[in-house]
């Protein structure tokens, strides 16, 4: 009964109808009993058919859901893997934290006016300094570095702001000849978040600076 199809129901309905009609012509009592059995069996068959159909749809939906989850996992895995050419050209400076003073000495000319006028801001987070998307920085060797004679530093206006990571130096040098000037994205630094309950900005937080670029 698990594989009941609509054509089976139709055949049973037609055959049962003619068989009941024939027997009713022979014996009314026997025909009445057969008709009752016939109607009950129809109800049972229809119930089983609908149940199987719903079960099949549920299985298909579950199968599609699992397939979608699997496909999403594969897509996310591919997205997280640095396989494209642009990923190979992407770099982020390290050690920026230790040169915050040098960086902020430059950023003081790019302070966000809303930092001192928070009551006029409608942002959920206000940074002290504007994000700079095309800031020219210089990248060069630093042979005088006492920790790493092969160090490659980045600077603005002659002041160090960070370094090319040790694991990235080989990849970087394959694509650039030093000294090298590049447009970098500088973001982060001191910020204040809007409290949705008081509608006021909280204390200053600092999640660090990020200096990124492509070559």
Strands, DSSP E only, in the chain? 90-92, 125-127, 132-141, 152-156, 159-163, 180-195, 200-201, 205-214
Q: Which residue has better confidence, 71 or 51?
A: 51
pLDDT digits (tens, 9 = 90+) for 159-201: 999 999 999 999 999 999 999 999 999 999 999 999 999 999 9
Spell out the residues 6+ positions from residue 182 whose beta carbon is closer than 8 angstroms to its own. Answer: 136, 137, 139, 176, 213, 215
- Average pLDDT score over residue span 63-77: 49
The domain segmentation of the chain, as residue ranges, is 2-75, 90-214
Q: Which residue has better confidence, 66 or 141?
A: 141
């Amino acid at each position: 009964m698990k594989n009941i199809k609509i054509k089976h129901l139709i055949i049973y309905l037609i055959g049962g109808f003619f068989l009941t009609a024939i027997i009713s012509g022979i014996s009314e009592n026997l025909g009445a009993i057969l008709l009752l059995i016939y109607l009950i069996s129809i109800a049972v068959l229809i119930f089983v058919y609908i149940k199987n159909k719903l079960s099949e749809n549920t299985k298909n939906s579950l199968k599609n859901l699992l397939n979608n989850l699997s496909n999403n996992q594969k897509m996310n895995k591919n997205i997280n893997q640095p396989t494209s050419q642009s990923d190979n050209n992407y770099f982020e400076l390290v050690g920026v934290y230790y040169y915050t003073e040098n960086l902020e000495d430059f950023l003081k000319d790019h302070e966000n006016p809303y930092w001192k006028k928070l009551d006029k801001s409608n942002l959920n987070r206000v940074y002290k300094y504007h994000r700079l998307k095309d800031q020219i920085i210089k990248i060069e060797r630093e042979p005088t570095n006492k920790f790493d004679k092969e160090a490659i530093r980045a600077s603005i206006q002659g002041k160090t702001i960070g370094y090319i990571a040790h694991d990235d130096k080989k990849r970087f040098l394959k694509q650039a000849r030093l000294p090298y000037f590049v447009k970098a994205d500088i973001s982060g630094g001191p910020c204040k978040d809007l409290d949705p309950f008081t509608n006021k900005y909280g204390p200053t937080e600092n999640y660090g600076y990020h200096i990124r670029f492509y070559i």
